[in-house]
Structure 1
Amino acid sequence: MKYYIIAGEASGDLHGANLMKALYKEDSNADIRFWGGDLMKNVGGTLVKHYRELAFMGFIEVVFNLKTILSNIKICKTDIAKFQPDTIIFIDYPGFNMRIAKWAKERGIRTHYYISPQIWAWKESRIADIKRDVDKMYVILPFEKDFYEGKHNFPVEFVGHPLIDAIHNQPLIDPPVFRKEHELNEKPIIALLPGSRKQEITKMLSVMLSVVKDFPDYQFVIAGAPSQEYVFYESFISNENIKFISNKTYDLLRNATAALVTSGTATLETALFKVPEVVCYKGSWASYQIAKRIITLKYISLVNLIMDEEVVTELIQDDFNPKNIRIELNKILEPNHRKSLLEKYDLLEKKLGGIGASENTAKLIVADLKQNTNH
């Protein structure tokens, strides 16, 4: 069968790659064409457009890049029409994907959505579009099933969280080998995860690094995003206690003592690697003011949302400053606080279910297609 997959950012590329592996196992004749990144490309299929060309963060930034976004939507529709897939699989990235889903549904193409748009956070009105345009929805957070089925009478499948798969499949690396390979010294590591987009990294990293001088017994290691070149990070590396590792975030987390993490999927990844963290976020003033008025959630990190309590500290906008980072970093380095935090992380992992999200989803997609097509 022919599958068209659309992932628009780094996390979607990771989950898309694992889903593709599972689809190839489930359907030996799978023909896959996709929008994604290097991880998906390494699995096989045909890459149409890299997510580097798609990622715009914040409301204002989207407005400024609207011409590019609309052009990409047109390119995508043309490419799908030419490929004539049996299904389109959407991975998160709702602003783009929901537009394609509407167009695809009108043309009778089967639509599967893996990793739900976060309409429980904002734009809950999108439920009408989802009910109209999405044939099957696969959710990865336990509370999403209650949200869709209980509140909106829309059946969904809870498949488990794909991050558990991704972490479980990550090959182990011996700590001394890791340190030697990346020229790290023996000091404990504080990992810095400033995001994947240039504007986001620029905002976050300079503030994160402002506390380096206060922790001379630690080395701060920047997790370089696969979508960015080393030269972009170079200006941030101002002293010997600041190191840089590109595209090895999981290896870094496996060896880290603590972490400062930009809000997003990385907050959950860090928790699943059992690394005490402080969650950080700072957007443009205008984007933040808009978000504050339309997002009604108590928390911004997935860790706290899933647990429905403040497990990890969130430093948002003006609270994200050197003084607060210093205070919170000291807290998570303190043994008793660390112990209670790690116990919460264990409960979090149990809530997310076991391994197998990618396989579960692939099986359900293939079964649905067999039932609803002539194959």
Structure 2
Amino acid sequence: MNIFFSVGEPSGDLHGANLIRELKQRRPDWKMVGYGGPRMQQAGCELHTDLTQFAVMWLLQVILNYHKFRALVKRAERYFAEQSPDAVVLIDYPGFNWHIAKAAKKHGVPVFYYGAPQLWGWAGWRVKKMRRWVDHVLVKLPFEEPWYRDRGCNATYLGHPYFDELRAQQLDQDFVRKRRASGPLVTILPGSRTQEVRSNLAAQLQAAEKVRQSTPGVRFAVAVFKQSQVALVETELAKSGVEAEVHVGRTPELIHAATCCLAVSGSVSLELLFHTKPTAIVYQVSPLAFFVQKFFRRVRYITLVNLLTADELFPAEVGVYDPEDPRDAHVLMPEYLTCQDPTDKLARHLTHWLTDDDARDALVARMAVLKEQIGRGGASVRAAEYVVNTLDPSGGLREAA
């Protein structure tokens, strides 16, 4: 068997690597090739291109990189025509992966979408592409299976693959103990994409300064996703006047050691839930982007953790989170999708958790309930078994050659 992968985000690279390992355990003779990232390569994928280096956002970046994406689609289509892979596995990156799915279907290659995109939240009309070009829609969240099935897709709920990685983490306990030994710590998570860091870190640091002024003894640490972002982070720190430790590759330890956190919206919210860490979420966009998103977004919350506790997923009036609105009383992570200054609100949440132990403990207890419901792991195993049972149902167990 020859399986072609197409994965474009750093988080997808992680999930793809875990899936490849599980597939290799069951079918060591299967060949894995395609587009992905370094973790997939380490897991045994023959990487044609590191697609994660092109992780982009918003229309302008897509336009600037269009010629690169188009060349990659053509390269994949040639591969489908010449090598006839047995399946294509897509993870995240729908703007690009629709083209891969269409090319695969053109050549009669079955398509699996592992961790289907959140079309229910922002682009429901695109479900027709899923229905037309994807044979197996493997979803991460409980409400996604009925949503996709109601729209004619062959959807199966497997759980969120991120929890597999989180449950396998081995923390550096000495590092954690040292950060906890000197009083309250706020961990700042400015995002995995450099664009996110540029858009959000300055506001996060402004909020941190307001917290410092009202909370004696508080300390700060910035969890940097990759080494190339360190200079940008240090520049922003120097401009803000905030003193903070800066660490690369220490996100799990810094989350675990923190009293509370300040994060950019993204899949990191699931890691924060896993560690039951009180967190304020921010996602700053331009006024134009904020205006445009109102026409596409179909859910009230941008944070998965908050969606999973919502009574009404698709309200008639969407709006944004408001701490004074009774509809938002269930929210576990206060979130601010905004084009305005959110720093006072962010600082208020952080100060509350730093100074009111009872309030913080009550929030931690509520987070623990949700973690127990959805954070048990096993998605990678279930996905591998689904793929194997679909492509090779009578193959049995095989030994490596």
TM-score by length of 1: 0.91
2:14–2:39 contact (8 Å) kept in structure 1: yes
Distance 1:70 1:372 in 2: 38
Distance 2:5 2:257 in 1: 33
Give the letter aligned to residue 102 of structure 1: K
Distance 2:61 2:243 in 1: 34
Give the letter aligned to residue 203 of structure 1: S
1:371–1:230 Cα change, 3 Å: same
Equivalences for residues 218-237 of structure 1 within 5 A: 218-226=218-226, 228-237=228-237
Aligned residue for 2:111?
A: 111
Q: CA deviation at 1:184?
A: 9.0
Aligned residue for 1:212?
A: 208
Distance 1:372 1:126 in 2: 35
Q: CA deviation at 1:347?
A: 2.5
Which of 314, 329, 333 in structure 2 is aligned with 1:312?
Answer: 333
1:49–1:184 Cα change, 3 Å: farther
Identity of aligned residues (%): 29
Corresponding residue SS for 1:6: strand
RMSD: 2.4
Aligned residue for 2:297?
A: 295
Corresponding residue SS for 2:202: helix
1:337–1:125 Cα change, 3 Å: same
- 2:339 maps to 1:327: no
Corresponding residue SS for 2:187: strand
Corresponding residue SS for 1:294: coil
Q: CA deviation at 1:268?
A: 1.8
Distance 2:101 2:75 in 1: 15
1:228–1:88 Cα change, 3 Å: farther
Which of 253, 256, 261 in structure 2 is aligned with 1:254?
Answer: 256
Give the letter aligned to residue 255 of structure 1: A
Q: CA deviation at 1:265?
A: 0.6
Give the letter aligned to residue 368 of structure 2: D
1:225–1:246 contact (8 Å) kept in structure 2: yes
Distance 1:53 1:77 in 2: 21
1:279–1:313 contact (8 Å) kept in structure 2: yes
Give the letter aligned to residue 228 of structure 2: Q
Measured against aligned partners, the alpha-carbon deviations of 1:66-114 in whole angstroms (never above 9, x if no partner) come to 3333233233333454553211100111111111101101101111110
2:180–2:257 contact (8 Å) kept in structure 1: no
Give the letter aligned to residue 291 of structure 1: Q
Distance 2:349 2:341 in 1: 11
Corresponding residue SS for 1:297: coil
Distance 1:131 1:291 in 2: 24
2:205–2:237 contact (8 Å) kept in structure 1: no
1:371–1:126 Cα change, 3 Å: farther
Aligned residue for 2:95?
A: 95
Distance 1:233 1:292 in 2: 30
Corresponding residue SS for 1:18: helix
Distance 2:208 2:158 in 1: 41
1:74–1:332 Cα change, 3 Å: farther
1:196–1:228 contact (8 Å) kept in structure 2: no
Q: CA deviation at 1:172?
A: 3.1
Measured against aligned partners, the alpha-carbon deviations of 1:43-82 in whole angstroms (never above 9, x if no partner) come to 2222222244321112343234333332332333334545
Distance 1:72 1:302 in 2: 31
Which of 275, 282, 285 in structure 2 is aligned with 1:283?
Answer: 285
5+ residue gaps in structure 2? 311-329
Compare 275-284 and 210-219 and name the one that shifted more.
210-219
1:88–1:130 Cα change, 3 Å: same
Aligned residue for 1:191?
A: 187
1:4–1:85 contact (8 Å) kept in structure 2: yes
Q: CA deviation at 1:302?
A: 0.3
Measured against aligned partners, the alpha-carbon deviations of 1:292-343 in whole angstroms (never above 9, x if no partner) come to 2111211110011111142221112145522122112112332222222222
Distance 2:89 2:226 in 1: 23
Q: CA deviation at 1:203?
A: 1.1
Distance 1:89 1:126 in 2: 19
Corresponding residue SS for 2:392: helix
Aligned residue for 1:167?
A: 166
5+ residue gaps in structure 1? none
2:171–2:252 contact (8 Å) kept in structure 1: no
Distance 2:283 2:39 in 1: 26
Measured against aligned partners, the alpha-carbon deviations of 1:126-169 in whole angstroms (never above 9, x if no partner) come to 222111111111111011012122x3243311111112211110
Distance 2:51 2:250 in 1: 19
2:227–2:248 contact (8 Å) kept in structure 1: no
Compare 189-198 and 357-366 and name the one that shifted more.
189-198
Distance 1:290 1:237 in 2: 31
Work out the number of aligned pairs and report it.
Answer: 370
Q: CA deviation at 1:196?
A: 1.7
Q: CA deviation at 1:240?
A: 7.1
TM-score by length of 2: 0.85
Corresponding residue SS for 1:223: strand
1:126–1:227 Cα change, 3 Å: farther
Corresponding residue SS for 1:152: coil
2:137–2:153 contact (8 Å) kept in structure 1: no
Aligned residue for 2:365?
A: 343
- 2:243 maps to 1:244: no
Corresponding residue SS for 1:311: coil
1:204–1:262 contact (8 Å) kept in structure 2: yes
